[in-house]
Amino acid sequence: MKAVICYIGLGSNLGDSVANLHSAIAQLAAADGVELRGVSRFFTSKPMGPQDQPDYVNAVACVHTDLSAHALLEALFVVERAHGRVRDAGLRWGARTLDLDLLLYGDAVIATPDLCVPHPGIAGRSFVLLPLADLAPHRVFPDGRKLQDCLAALPCDDLYPLA
């Protein structure tokens, strides 16, 4: 299989979120078939959904992989589980130790019951776009939208880079 550049969204708002992200990045970098190419700055953001939870720390990682999209997704789930994440189909936008989302898998468009790439919310989430812009500021999404145009359409005043 041909190697692909992928972008993975990372988020945490339980426990030591910064340490959770650093640990997840290290585990991703050590995964078979995955080569870490870069990591954005870390940003704090308000949670999506219920506001009665801690703020999130978010980032985006760029990886080079020869894994299929579904195999990469499974590798992300392994990392999440190692950090105590339990995916509960009934709980949406709740607090979590770690959330990993496959944002982009090359220029592929994938729509299966268990995986949608590009991530369906990518263009409407400043906590994804701003870190992604750190790594790929001129990125054009598979549907032709430019990352910078999507970013300009969103308020980013609730995002703060961590020093």
> What amino acid is encoded at 60 in this protein?
V
101 is catalytic: yes
Residues 6+ apart with CB under 8 A from 149: none
Q: List the catalytic residue out of 32, 37, 55, 99.
A: 99
Q: Whole-prediction pTM value?
A: 0.92
- Active-site entry in 37, 52, 85, 114: 85
Catalytic residue among 32, 41, 55, 101: 101
Stronger pLDDT, 52 or 8, i.e. the higher one: 8
How far, in Å, are 3, 29, 34, 71, 149 from residue 65 at the CA level?
A: 5, 10, 5, 10, 28
What is the CB neighbour count within 10 angstroms for residue 144? 6
Domains of the chain, start order: 4-161 (3.30.70.560)
For the segment 87-140, what is each residue's pLDDT rounded down to a tens digit?
A: 665 556 667 889 999 999 999 999 999 999 999 889 989 999 999 999 999 999
**96 tagged catalytic:** yes
Q: Which of 37, 52, 55, 96 is catalytic?
A: 96
Predicted confidence at residue 30, as pLDDT, reads 96
pLDDT recorded at residue 158: 81
99 is catalytic: yes
Burial (CB < 10 A; 0-12, 13-18, 19+), residue 23, is: middle
Specify the pLDDT at position 74. 95
Question: Quick check: 12 and 111 in contact, CB under 8 A?
Answer: no
User: Three-state SS for 15?
Assistant: coil
145 as an active site residue: the answer is no
Q: Minimum mean pLDDT among 16-30, 74-88, 133-147: which range?
A: 74-88
Residues 25-74 have pLDDT tens digits of 999 999 999 999 999 999 999 887 777 788 999 999 999 999 999 999 99
Average pLDDT score over the chain:
91
Within 8 A by CB and 6+ apart from 145, the residues are 123
Per-residue model confidence (pLDDT) at position 16? 94
